[in-house]
Amino acid sequence: MCCKLAFRNVRRSLKDYFVYFLTLTFGVCIFYVFGSMDAQQAMDSPVQSSIFAMLIQIMDVLSVFVSIVLGFLVLYANTFLIKRRKKELGVYALLGMPKGKVNLIFLLETAVVGALSLACGLGLGVAASQAVSLLTAQVFEVKLDTFHFVFSPVAAGKTILYFAIIFVVVMALGSVSISRQKLIDLLSAQKKNQRFRAKKLWHAVVLFLLSVALIGTAYGMFIKNGMRVLGNEIPVIMAIGGVGTLLFFMSLSGFLLRICKSNRRLYYNKLNMFVLRQLNSKINTTYLSVTFICLMLLLAVGALSFGIGVADSMQSELEVCTRYDVSLYNGSANDSGRPVLELLGEHGYDLDDYLERSVSFAYHDTGIRKSDLLAGCYEGEDIPGVNVTIDAVSQSDYNALMELSGQPTVDLSQGEYGVVALSGDAQKAVKRYLATERSLTLAGETLTAYRGGYLTGSLETSTGTGASGDVVFVLPDRVAAAIPSIRGTVSGFYAGDKEETEKEFFAFINQVGGEIEAGSEVRIYGATAEMVYQIALGSKVTFLYIGIYLGIVFLLASAAILALQQLSEAADNNQRYRLLRKLGTDDGMVRGAVFSQVALYFFIPLALALVHSAVFFYVMQDALTSLGVQNIWPSTLWTLGIVLAIYGAYFVLTYFGARRMATETSLATK
């Protein structure tokens, strides 16, 4: 009997359950998609596989976090549903149904909806993961000859387990809250909701001004300090901004009301007065959740645009890092100046089979700290890599490398030194450094700076801007020779078909490297262009997926909370709208009032979140540039697109739901 009742209830209150169901389905879908990375197409190379393994691990950790967020969302939604249906539960109790049975009915209902949405979500997730798999393959430039159906039993199992836990916890908490209720409270729940106490409006005005001042202060501090002095100030700025946001939502409706009241024409226009009063009457119970929603939206926008932005970047820097097909260097603790080729030769190997052309060279340890040399030249106060010393190469090595890779050579005059700057940041700093007369004393000789400005020749292929950092000296051969050499390096180009050789070389160097390194202090490091490229791609994908995953979950959570809140409010407002219609208010006007109400609730938190994130990204500009993000517009547009699609869909759904409740009940029935 209970089962039948529960099923029928679900079907009957489908409209109540719809948003809940939709959110759960979507949540399960996202959860599965990002948990099923392990089932993606086999990767081409060992580098790709290892990157992918990392991605899977990160997603695993995120999944736990996301499941907690979703758990709270489900809990919130369930509390709302119980509230909505208190009266119905009261009637069951009134008819003499034991509390255990009432509980059971509700449990069954939750279970039915949960199971249904789990099934739908998994189905949707499996479908969506096909698309994600194709996308991943495309990003990694893996050629897919045939279409493979991707399914991850592990992810499916995990999804079911996590959500089962969520449902069990939620059901348990729900039944506790039901059994605590007194019958009279259940029956008169609707009347109780409508209690209302007015507050003085000038309080709101004062609070609002205070909130704007606080938010402004937080922005000011953030913009002024930038990311440089982050450590101590960031918590303070966040606290000020957070409190400001809280006060903003606490006082906004009162402030708007006050402003509108002083403009009679606006205030007495259509139902403006009614809408503002509605807003103001609810704000005491909603400002906390709206603040929370605003901050979640901020996180969502941040995660999305950051992820997409980084994924959209990193091409320019990559060129500098991949000028040669391959570079190897001697990274031993002692005597690292010995050329790599010599080390290999000692063990009876040579690279001639793999490398068509190469240059062997070594760096020289000048002992000059970057932070000393370039003090005051960077825009901010601190210099990236404080303790890094600047290495040098001889002019002839430099020119040999330049000729090898087809970059411009340099012709230093007598007693001159050059400075190579590779990253954009370093180039700016070195330019500033060279603007004044600079001399350098090395190995007892005083050198003056090369007049042609900084140099941009890339010396090796590496995953960063090189083990030597992004600033390198070019010294006259004589001076260089007088300085101890470190990191014997070889940079070169493959012979024959590049892809083939890359594979062979990779296998060769792994084997040989292990052999040479075994039982000795010798270490050989290196990178190939392909590897650097793959790692860059890998981190792109990682950033992109983390951003999208978190972004969508936060977006979903905030939109769903708003939707549930507004739908339940619309139900509470049913009587008010009926009265308006009885008095002869146009349906159009009623619809307008519902629209304004729902739109204000949805879009004011979004607007503030967007302003917050705009300020955030304005300050983060430098950090983003150093990550290689050149143009923020594509990611901004994508982010806005995703936000509007998901958030907008919830808004439309909520509006139509609320409108139906407000305008479609018959006036004649009591």
Partner 1 sequence: MEILRVEHLHKYYGGRGNVTKAVDDISFSVEKGEFLGVMGASGSGKTTLLNCISTIDTATSGSIFVGGQDVTQMRGKKLAAFRRSQLGFVFQDFNLLDTLTARENVALALTILRTPAREIDVRVQNVAAELGIAEVLEKYPYQLSGGQKQRVACARAIVTNPQMVLADEPTGALDSKSARMLLHSLQTMVQVMEATILMVTHDAFTASYCDRILFIKDGRIFSELVKGEQSRKEFFARIIEVVTLLGGESADVL
Residues that bind partner 1 (CB under 8 A): 194, 196-198, 264-265, 267-274, 277-278, 280-281, 576, 579-587, 589, 667-668
By beta-carbon proximity to partner 1, the closer residue of 204 and 240 is: 204
Q: How far is the CB of 79 from partner 1 (least distance, A)?
A: 24
CB of 189 to partner 1, least distance (A): 17
Q: Quote the CA–CA distance of 62 and 518 in Å, as a whole number.
A: 38
Coil/strand/helix, residue 133: helix
Bridge-partner residues for 475, per DSSP?
A: 394
- The minimum distance between CB 205 and partner 1, in angstroms, equals 17
Identify the helix (H) or strand (E) that includes residue 339: none
Least separation, in Å, of the C-beta of 258 and partner 1?
14
Whether 564 contacts 558, CB under 8 Å: no
With both helix axes pointing from N to C terminus, report the angle between 46-84 and 86-94 in degrees, rounded to the nearest 10.
Answer: 50
CA gap 597, 156 in Å, rounded = 40
Smaller CB distance to partner 1: residue 275 or 304?
Answer: 275
Beta carbons within 8 Å of 501's beta carbon, 6+ residues apart: 354, 494, 495
Angle at 411 between CA 363 and CA 336, to 5 degrees: 5
Could you tell me the strand order of the sheet in which 445-449 lies? 439-442, 445-449, 416-421, 471-475, 389-394, 355-369, 485-494, 326-330, 524-528
Name the residue with tokens 């953030």: 222
> What amino acid occupies position 119?
A
Give Cα separations from 221 to 230, 245, 249, 271 (angstroms): 11, 16, 22, 41
Closest distance between partner 1 and the C-beta of residue 668, in Å?
Answer: 4
Q: Rounded to the nearest 10 degrees, what angle do helices 529-572 and 574-582 cross at? A: 60
- Other CB atoms within 10 A of residue 290 CB: 25
We find the least distance from the C-beta atom of residue 656 to partner 1, in angstroms, to be: 20
Please say whether the beta carbons of 27 and 556 come within 8 A: yes
Q: Which is nearer to partner 1, 65 or 268 (CB)?
A: 268
Q: How far is the CB of 578 from partner 1 (least distance, A)?
A: 9
Nearer to partner 1, 432 or 581 (CB): 581
Taking the least distance from each CB to partner 1, the nearer of 278 and 542 is 278
- Pick 258 or 364: Cβ nearer partner 1: 258
3-state SS of 408-469 is CCCCCCCCEEEEEECCHHHHHHHHHHHCCCCEEEECCEEEEECCCCCECCCCCCCCCCCCCC
Which CB sits closer to partner 1, 42 or 198? 198
Q: Shortest approach of partner 1 to residue 29 CB, angstroms? A: 39
Q: Which residues pair with 392 in a beta bridge?
A: 364, 473
Instruction: Tell me 338's DSSP state.
Output: S
CB of residue 549 to partner 1, shortest distance in Å: 41
Distance between CA atoms of residues 609 and 290, nearest Å? 11
Answer for the pair 424, 473: CB distance below 8 angstroms, yes or no.
no
**Could you tell me the smallest distance in angstroms from the CB atom of residue 193 to partner 1?**
11
Cα 359 to Cα 492: distance, rounded to the nearest angstrom = 6
**Closer residue to partner 1 (CB): 83 or 581:** 581
Q: Which is nearer to partner 1, 279 or 606 (CB)?
A: 279
Nearer to partner 1, 190 or 585 (CB): 585
Q: How far is CA 577 from CA 49, 85, 441, 602, 606, in A?
A: 60, 20, 85, 20, 27
Q: Cβ closer to partner 1: 158 or 258? A: 258
Q: Which residues pair with 364 in a beta bridge?
A: 392, 485
Exposed/middle/buried for 118, CB within 10 Å: 0-12, 13-18, 19+? buried
Q: Which is nearer to partner 1, 589 or 640 (CB)?
A: 589
In whole angstroms, the minimum distance from the beta carbon of 263 to partner 1 comes to 9
Query: Taking the alpha carbons of 377, 382, 385, 388 in that order, is the dihedral positive or negative?
Result: positive
Q: Which CB sits closer to partner 1, 266 or 482?
A: 266
Q: How far is the CB of 131 from partner 1 (least distance, A)?
A: 46
Closest distance of CB 195 from partner 1, Å: 8
Task: In angstroms, give the least distance from the CB of 39 to partner 1.
Answer: 54
The CA-based angle 653-659-661, given to 5 degrees, is 105
Nearer to partner 1, 577 or 638 (CB): 577
By beta-carbon proximity to partner 1, the closer residue of 31 and 255 is 255
Give the residue among 292, 379, 317 at the shortest CA–CA distance from 557.
Answer: 292
Cα angle 70-72-75, degrees, rounded to a multiple of 5: 110
* Strands 326-330, 439-442: pairing kind: unpaired
Q: How far is the CB of 140 from partner 1 (least distance, A)?
A: 57
